[in-house]
Structure formats: structure tokens, C-alpha cells
């Protein structure tokens, strides 16, 4: 048995005391409500933002995947929840990759410290995926069809490998031609597309040539298909036995940039053989 003795009042009275400084407050500036709020906001901004270890690890993978124009999606085993809930501050974290590719199952080692003093080193295993905006087919695209703005859309897709990420920018696929049927919703990849020819075999094209600082245009027949920048064989429209190379510069248009034969120069510029 023990004897317990309680000391203190059993009753109390609450009253508002008069302030001896009320009159002085008229001559002394006190911070306004707005000023107090600003001071409070400044103090909050000065304090470092609290981040959990889960957020720090996700940021570690985000930085590594920044070159792929996406963000990391990271999942952990439930047994690591307690460690992942630790925050900085008061702790500091140093993360090192132990094994694994950029995506998939990755092993990490996390050093936990406080005030510069190492406390623990814990292993972590994370499943990492890449989420990025990706160009997909808004509707089915037929084989050999030229892709237009209405044929594609952008949606966020999750990737588990880096070997087939598709395109992020629609301008990279618009104007290209489908090599095969592309189903609705399919990710557009480079091996599905080919550059649309600007010059077609057997087509009459405009041919430009610069001679002595003078640019002269005539016509010629393309001997094969060509995309922008291709060097194609062309035949003078009125000289079937005369062929030379020209560079594709636009739809049904080419330009003589290399020195053809003397006869070729005369034909290309419209100067006939005497």
C-alpha cells in the first residue's frame, strides 16, 4: 500500500487582466495580421521540405530516366514500408544502385544518417517502370497510308523495357507512311513507318540548276522514288539517252548540285546542243 498526497488548488478563477502597455501600443508599431502571416510564410519557406525515403528513392529513379522524357513508377515490397516512411529531415539518405537494369527489378543500398553520423545501411529492392507520353494510333491506319494529325493521339503508357518506347512527339510520325496496317491504339514505332516519297519513278518533276549564278528551271523524269534529300537518277524530258543525278528538294522537285556532264548541263538548263 502507498499513501499519495496531492498538493495544489482544488478551484480556480479565470479573468482577463488589464494590460499595462495598452497606452504605449498607440505609439509603438506592432506587426499587422498581414505582416505576421508573411513572417510565418517566410519561416516556413526557410525550413527544408520534409521528404520520405519513398519519395527520395522515386526521385533517384526519376533522375536516371529523365533522358527518356518520362517519370519512374516504383513499387516496393510491403515489408519495407516502415523504413520507407523515414523522412529527411531529421535523417539523411545516400542511395547506391547494387544491381539491375534501368527498368525492372533493381537492388539498392540506402545509408541512413543523422547529423552527419551514419546510423544504418539497409537493402531495398524496387520494381521500376517508365511512364511516358507516347504517340498511338487514334484509329486504324492502312498500309501505305500517309499519317495525318487526325490519325494519332498522345497517351501515357507504362513501359517495362527500353527497347520499344515509341515516339513522344507527333511531328516525328505525321507525314510518314505506314509500312503495314497499324491497329487502333497501337504504339507507333520506327519500324512501322517509312518516309513518304516526294518524287516517284516515272513522274515528271521540276529540275533546277544553277549555272554561272543564274538559277534555271526545267523538267525531267524521275527514274526512281526519292525522299527529301535523296540523290535520284533523272532523265531529260526531251533527251531519252541523257541521265544524271539530282537531289530531291520537295514534292516533285529536284536540284542539280553536282557537276553533270557538259551535255547534261546544257539539257538541264535548257541550252540545246548546236
**pLDDT per position as a tens digit, 142-192:** 998 989 999 999 999 999 998 888 899 998 898 889 999 999 999 999 899
Give a yes or no: residue 39 inside a domain.
no
Range of the domain at 257: 204-268
Give a yes or no: residue 188 inside a domain.
yes
Q: Is 48 helix (H, G, I), strand (E, B) or coil?
A: coil
Under a CB-based contact definition with an 8 Å cutoff, are residues 68 and 133 in contact? no
- The answer to whether residues 121 and 151 belong to one domain is no
- The answer to whether residues 215 and 184 belong to one domain is no
- The answer to whether residues 79 and 104 belong to one domain is yes
CA-based torsion, 62, 63, 65, 68: positive or negative: positive
CA separation for the pair 189, 167 (Å, rounded): 7
Give a yes or no: residue 75 inside a domain.
yes
- The answer to whether residues 60 and 121 belong to one domain is yes
Give a yes or no: residue 176 inside a domain.
yes
Give a yes or no: residue 237 inside a domain.
yes
CA separation for the pair 253, 224 (Å, rounded): 13
pLDDT of the residue at 154: 95
Under a CB-based contact definition with an 8 Å cutoff, are residues 245 and 231 in contact? yes
Give a yes or no: residue 9 inside a domain.
no
CA separation for the pair 271, 274 (Å, rounded): 9
Question: Which of 2-16, 44-58, 128-142 is modeled with the greatest confidence?
Answer: 128-142
pLDDT at 18 over 50: no
Of the candidates 269, 266, 274, which has an alpha carbon nearest to the alpha carbon of residue 219?
269
For Cα atoms 138, 140, 145, give the angle at the middle one, nearest 5 degrees. 105
- The answer to whether residues 82 and 148 belong to one domain is no
Which residue did the predictor score with more confidence, 169 or 46?
169
CATH number for 150:
3.90.1210.10
pLDDT of the residue at 274: 43
pLDDT of the residue at 46: 57
- The answer to whether residues 91 and 137 belong to one domain is no
> Residue for cell digits 526519292?
226
- The answer to whether residues 119 and 64 belong to one domain is yes
Under a CB-based contact definition with an 8 Å cutoff, are residues 209 and 215 in contact? yes
CA separation for the pair 69, 132 (Å, rounded): 6
Residue 87: pLDDT band (50, 70, 90) is very high
- The answer to whether residues 185 and 215 belong to one domain is no
Which residue did the predictor score with more confidence, 124 or 8?
124
- The answer to whether residues 183 and 253 belong to one domain is no
Tell me the average pLDDT across 100-107: 91
The number of distinct structural domains making up the chain is 3
- The answer to whether residues 125 and 142 belong to one domain is no
- The answer to whether residues 172 and 229 belong to one domain is no
| Length of the chain (residues) | 274
CATH number for 241:
2.30.30.760
- The answer to whether residues 85 and 146 belong to one domain is no
pLDDT over 90 for what percent of the chain? Answer: 46
Give a yes or no: residue 41 inside a domain.
no
Q: What pTM, to 2 d.p., does this model score?
A: 0.59
CA separation for the pair 73, 61 (Å, rounded): 9
> Residue for cell digits 528513392?
57
Of the candidates 126, 134, 244, 245, which has an alpha carbon nearest to the alpha carbon of residue 189?
134
| Distance set, CA 64 to CA 57, 104, 128 (Å) | 11, 13, 11
Give a yes or no: residue 29 inside a domain.
no
pLDDT of the residue at 164: 80
CA separation for the pair 107, 93 (Å, rounded): 16
Amino acid at each position: 500500500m502507498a499513501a499519495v498526497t496531492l498538493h495544489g488548488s482544488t478551484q480556480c478563477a479565470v479573468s482577463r487582466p488589464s494590460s499595462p502597455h495598452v497606452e504605449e501600443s498607440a505609439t509603438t508599431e506592432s506587426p499587422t495580421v498581414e505582416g505576421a502571416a508573411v513572417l510565418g510564410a517566410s519561416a516556413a519557406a526557410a525550413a527544408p521540405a520534409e521528404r520520405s525515403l519513398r519519395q527520395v528513392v522515386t526521385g533517384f529513379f526519376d533522375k536516371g530516366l529523365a533522358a527518356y522524357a518520362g517519370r519512374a513508377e516504383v513499387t516496393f515490397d510491403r515489408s519495407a514500408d516502415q523504413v520507407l516512411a523515414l523522412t529527411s529531415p531529421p535523417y539523411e539518405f545516400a542511395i547506391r544502385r547494387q544491381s539491375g537494369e534501368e527498368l525492372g527489378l533493381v537492388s539498392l543500398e540506402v545509408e541512413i544518417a543523422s547529423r552527419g553520423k551514419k546510423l544504418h545501411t539497409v537493402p531495398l529492392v524496387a520494381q521500376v517502370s517508365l511512364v511516358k507520353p507516347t504517340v498511338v494510333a487514334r484509329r486504324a491506319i492502312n498500309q501505305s497510308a500517309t499519317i495525318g494529325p487526325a490519325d494519332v493521339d498522345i497517351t501515357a503508357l507504362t513501359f517495362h523495357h527500353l527497347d520499344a518506347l515509341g515516339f513522344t512527339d507527333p511531328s516525328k510520325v505525321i507525314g510518314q507512311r505506314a509500312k503495314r496496317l497499324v491497329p487502333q491504339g497501337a504504339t507507333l514505332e520506327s519500324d512501322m513507318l517509312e518516309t513518304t516519297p516526294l518524287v516517284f519513278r516515272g513522274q515528271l518533276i521540276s529540275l533546277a540548276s544553277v549555272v554561272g549564278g543564274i538559277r534555271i528551271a526545267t523538267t525531267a523524269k524521275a527514274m526512281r522514288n526519292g525522299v527529301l534529300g535523296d540523290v535520284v537518277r533523272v532523265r531529260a524530258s526531251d533527251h531519252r539517252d541523257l541521265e544524271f543525278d539530282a537531289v530531291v528538294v520537295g514534292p516533285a522537285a529536284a536540284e542539280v548540285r553536282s557537276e553533270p556532264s557538259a551535255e547534261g548541263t546544257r539539257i538541264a538548263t535548257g541550252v540545246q546542243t548546236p
